[in-house]
């Protein structure tokens, strides 16, 4: 379970402070498929980054299964991300010189798994996202949808408790976006992983079981389906 | 897949960037190795010329001569050269000895006159100690009295050729002006400026007559058959046998000033090498900085995937080290190829001395000398520099918050 308590975040540009989050409080339960929606500048990505230990809040706390994460050291946050959290980015963020197989293998390098185990997991994960025949393709040899599938496989290969996806369908056409969302929802049900999205895509909101609407750094409304 | 394998993939798949960076290292290292070979060659050639044409390995003087050598103290000379030579020849390790008589003189072609050092040489024993006969490039070596051998450059300055007549003017031992007209028997190129530009060689007896110094020499030059490292021991042995009326010096003691100059030259050579390396290092810094900066979002992604700062720094250091090793290997290879060429074929400075009635081909090949220690040091330096210059930008990039790194454009 993720608990967000009175979360504030201000960005400092020169001497000016730009508040991005104003005291967010929320809980995300295990196995939830949650979308953080709202217009640009509403604080979706900032909230996602702080939950994922990619950024520090100005004030407030994030509890992951009851453990506070915001005061962890850089090394402890790395450990947490290494084992517990997977990320999916709007621009896929695959390493361009690596193949699909090698990109998905990256999170496992740090886990020091035996070679056979790594290979089994990578191949199985790529098969799961429908890319069993694309193991040796590099990102520039794949479509946007295929690249996002590789990114999904990469985020899930280590078996994280939580997957954070920042605008995962923003760079995809609607048919591909639908495929990707169906895939993530299936994986959420199958692997029991928490999925949290940031999005302003109506389609994503349709797929989400819980929808949290943000505006100007505050939760405007929440609804569960 | 370990970090080093991932680094290797980055290096070999970012071909253009890796090649450009490695090239900057290669060029710097090639230049440094080739320059060191040239400088070594110049030093060795200088040392060889001193031993083979000027002093031999050891030189014996009458006591007090060397201190005033520049003033040519003609009264402080070796008066019994034959008996001295006989004693020295018997000492174990001594291969050959020859006497020389040096004196100040002026050389005239009838129009122009130049100050030179006159050197009387023993025609029989000269070749056992010195390489002078082999340095004759026109005409022939001396074979009797009333002949001179001069450097080809001096011949050019005086516009004389083989068989022409030169006048050697001196003040003899008694202070009387004396002049001999002598035939140019041959021309020399030794690579030693003393013999090529500033000396006139003649038969020892002719020199003695010219200087009114019958039976005298100014120095007895000694060549040893032994390992050069034993020269000091042989020198001590000779000194103990020849008695207190003489002094003996090794060739490097006689040329201490030249060695000081060589040291200064080496220092400036090092500075030039350092400048080349700094230029190469700036090139490496530039490309590595670009490589790191353009990959900051990638660093952000890796951090999001759980890479610690240390793992990211290590991965980039492996990349820097790998590029450095490849660049250094290529640079060392080409530096060695050039050095091998310089030390075997050499640089041919042969040219023709122009003149209306003068056309002498000069044969002079300058050869470098490879210093294996420098080659290894330069290779290690190339790798170390590329690792260090990678460390600077990557440390900064790795410390960024992952969100900041991901936002970086």
Q: For A137-195, what is each residue's pLDDT tens digit?
A: 999 999 999 999 999 999 999 989 899 999 888 888 888 888 888 888 888 888 888 99
Same domain, B301 and B401: yes
Is residue B323 included in any domain, yes or no?
yes
The string of pLDDT tens digits covering residues B111-170 is 999 999 999 999 999 999 999 998 998 999 999 899 999 999 999 999 999 999 999 999
Query: Would you say residue B55 lies in a domain?
Result: no
Q: Is residue B34 included in any domain, yes or no? A: yes
Instruction: For residue B356, tell me if it sits in a domain.
Output: yes
Using CA atoms, how far residue B337 sits from B52, B98, B332, in Å, is 29, 41, 8
Distance, in Å, from the CA atom of B140 to the CA atom of A98, rounded to the nearest integer, reads: 74
| B304 and B397 part of one domain | yes
Residue B402 lies in a domain: yes
**Residues B79, B43 share a domain:** no
pLDDT tens, residue by residue, A63-76 = 998 899 988 999 99
Q: Do A106 and B6 touch (CB under 8 A)?
A: yes
Closest residue on chain B to A118 (Cα): B1
- With CA atoms as reference, the chain B residue closest to A91 would be B406
Q: How many CA atoms lie within 13 A of B257 on its CB side?
A: 1
Question: Measured between alpha carbons, how far is B276 from B270 in angstroms, rounded to an integer?
Answer: 10
CA–CA distance, A146 with A125 (Å, rounded to integer): 13
Kindly state whether residue B278 falls inside one of the protein's structural domains. Answer: yes
DSSP state of B310: H
Number of domains in chain B: 2
Domain identity same for B43 and B168: no
Nearest to A133 by CA among A100, A166, A155: A100
Indicate the residue among B243, B272, B295 that finishes a domain: B243
Contact B1 A107 (CB under 8 A): no
What is the distance between the alpha carbons of residues A154 and B218, in angstroms, rounded to a whole number? 89
Q: What pTM, to 2 d.p., does this model score? A: 0.74
Do B23 and B75 lie in a common domain? no
| Interchain contact, A95 vs B406, CB within 8 Å | no
Shared-domain flag, residues B130 and B234: yes
Same domain, B302 and B356: yes
Same domain as B207, residue B95: yes
Q: Is B233 found in the same domain as B104? A: yes
ipTM given for this complex: 0.91
Q: How far is CA A109 from CA A147, A152, A154, B221, B359, in A?
A: 20, 17, 12, 73, 75
Domain containing B229 equals: 64-243
**Contact check, Cβ <8 Å, A102/B309:** no
Q: Are B288 and B386 in contact (CB under 8 A)?
A: yes
Whether residue B200 sits in one domain with residue B87:
yes
Q: How far apart are CA B351 and CA B157, in angstroms?
A: 15
Tell how far CA A50 is from the center of its chain: 11
Question: CA end-to-end span of chain A, whole Å?
Answer: 19
Contact B132, B149 (CB under 8 A): yes
In this structure, is residue B391 part of a structural domain? Answer: yes
Please determine, for residue B81, whether its predicted confidence score (pLDDT) is greater than 50.
Answer: yes
Q: Is residue B249 part of a domain?
A: no
Last residue of a domain, one of B183, B208, B243: B243
**What are the Cα distances from residue B287, in Å, to B21, B284, B291, B297, B324?**
6, 5, 6, 17, 12
- If asked whether residues B109 and B229 sit together in one domain, one would say yes
Q: Is B379 in the same domain as B336? A: yes
User: What is the distance between the alpha carbons of residues B225 and B241, in angstroms, rounded to a whole number?
Assistant: 18
Which residues, 6+ apart, have CB-to-CB distance to B35 below 8 Å? B269, B272, B273, B276
**Long-range pairs, B69-74, Cβ under 8 A, ≥24:** B72/B102, B72/B103, B72/B104, B72/B218, B74/B103, B74/B173, B74/B211, B74/B213, B74/B218
Give B194: exposed, middle or buried? Use CB within 10 Å, 0-12, 13-18, 19+: middle
Smallest CA–CA distance from A115 into chain B, residue: B1
**Mean pLDDT score of chain B:** 87
Name the domain boundary from B243, B275, B300.
B243
């Amino acid at each position: 379970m993720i608990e967000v308590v009175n979360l504030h975040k201000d960005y400092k540009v020169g001497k000016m402070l730009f508040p991005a989050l104003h005291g967010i409080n929320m809980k995300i339960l295990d196995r939830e498929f949650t979308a953080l929606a709202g217009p640009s500048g509403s604080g979706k990505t900032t909230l996602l980054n702080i939950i994922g230990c990619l950024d520090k809040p100005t004030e407030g706390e994030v509890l992951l299964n009851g453990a506070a994460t915001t005061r962890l050291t850089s090394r402890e946050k790395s450990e947490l991300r290494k084992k517990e959290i997977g990320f999916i980015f709007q621009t896929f963020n695959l390493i361009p010189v690596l193949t699909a197989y090698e990109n998905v293998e990256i999170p496992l390098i740090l886990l020091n798994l035996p070679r056979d185990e790594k290979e089994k997991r990578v191949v199985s994960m790529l098969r799961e996202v429908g890319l069993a025949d694309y193991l040796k393709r590099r990102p520039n040899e794949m479509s946007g949808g295929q690249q996002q599938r590789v990114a999904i496989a990469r985020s899930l290969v280590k078996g994280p408790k939580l997957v954070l996806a920042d605008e995962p369908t923003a760079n995809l056409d609607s048919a591909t976006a639908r495929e990707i969302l169906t895939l993530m929802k299936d994986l959420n049900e199958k692997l029991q992983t928490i999925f949290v999205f940031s999005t302003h895509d109506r389609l994503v909101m349709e797929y989400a079981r819980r929808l949290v609407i943000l505006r100007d750094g505050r939760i405007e409304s929440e609804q569960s389906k | 897949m370990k970090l080093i394998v991932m680094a290797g993939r980055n290096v070999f798949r970012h071909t253009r960037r890796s090649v450009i960076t490695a090239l900057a290292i290669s060029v710097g290292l090639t230049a440094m190795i080739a320059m060191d070979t040239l400088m070594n060659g110049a030093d060795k050639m200088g040392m060889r010329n001193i031993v083979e044409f000027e002093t031999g390995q050891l030189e014996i003087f009458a006591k007090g001569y060397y201190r005033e050598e520049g003033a040519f103290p003609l009264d402080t000379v070796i008066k019994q050269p034959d008996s001295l030579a006989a004693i020295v020849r018997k000492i174990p390790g001594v291969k050959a000895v020859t006497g020389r008589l040096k004196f100040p003189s002026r050389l005239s072609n009838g129009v122009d006159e130049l100050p030179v050092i006159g050197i009387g040489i023993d025609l029989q024993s000269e070749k056992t100690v010195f390489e002078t006969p082999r340095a004759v490039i026109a005409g022939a070596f001396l074979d009797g009295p009333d002949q001179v051998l001069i450097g080809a450059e001096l011949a050019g300055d005086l516009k004389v050729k083989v068989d022409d007549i030169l006048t050697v003017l001196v003040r003899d031992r008694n202070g009387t002006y004396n002049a001999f007209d002598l035939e140019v028997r041959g021309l020399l190129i030794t690579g030693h400026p003393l013999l090529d530009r500033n000396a006139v060689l003649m038969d020892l007896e002719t020199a003695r007559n010219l200087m009114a110094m019958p039976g005298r020499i100014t120095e007895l030059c000694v060549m040893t058959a032994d390992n050069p490292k034993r020269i000091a021991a042989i020198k001590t042995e000779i000194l103990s046998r020849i008695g207190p009326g003489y002094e003996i010096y090794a060739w490097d003691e006689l040329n201490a000033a030249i060695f000081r100059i060589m040291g200064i030259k080496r220092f400036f050579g090092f500075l030039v090498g350092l400048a080349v390396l700094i230029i190469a290092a700036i090139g490496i810094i530039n490309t590595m900085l670009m490589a790191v900066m353009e990959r900051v979002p990638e660093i952000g992604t890796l951090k999001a995937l759980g890479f610690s700062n240390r793992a990211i720094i290590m991965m980039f250091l492996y990349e820097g080290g790998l590029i450095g090793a490849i660049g250094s290997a290529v640079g060392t290879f080409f530096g060695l190829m050039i050095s091998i060429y310089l030390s075997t074929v050499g640089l041919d400075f042969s040219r023709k001395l122009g003149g209306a009635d003068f056309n002498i081909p000069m044969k002079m090949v300058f050869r470098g000398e490879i210093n294996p220690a420098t080659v290894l040091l330069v290779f290690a330096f190339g790798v170390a520099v590329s690792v260090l210059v990678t460390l600077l930008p990557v440390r900064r990039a790795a410390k960024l918050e992952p969100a900041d790194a991901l936002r970086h454009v």
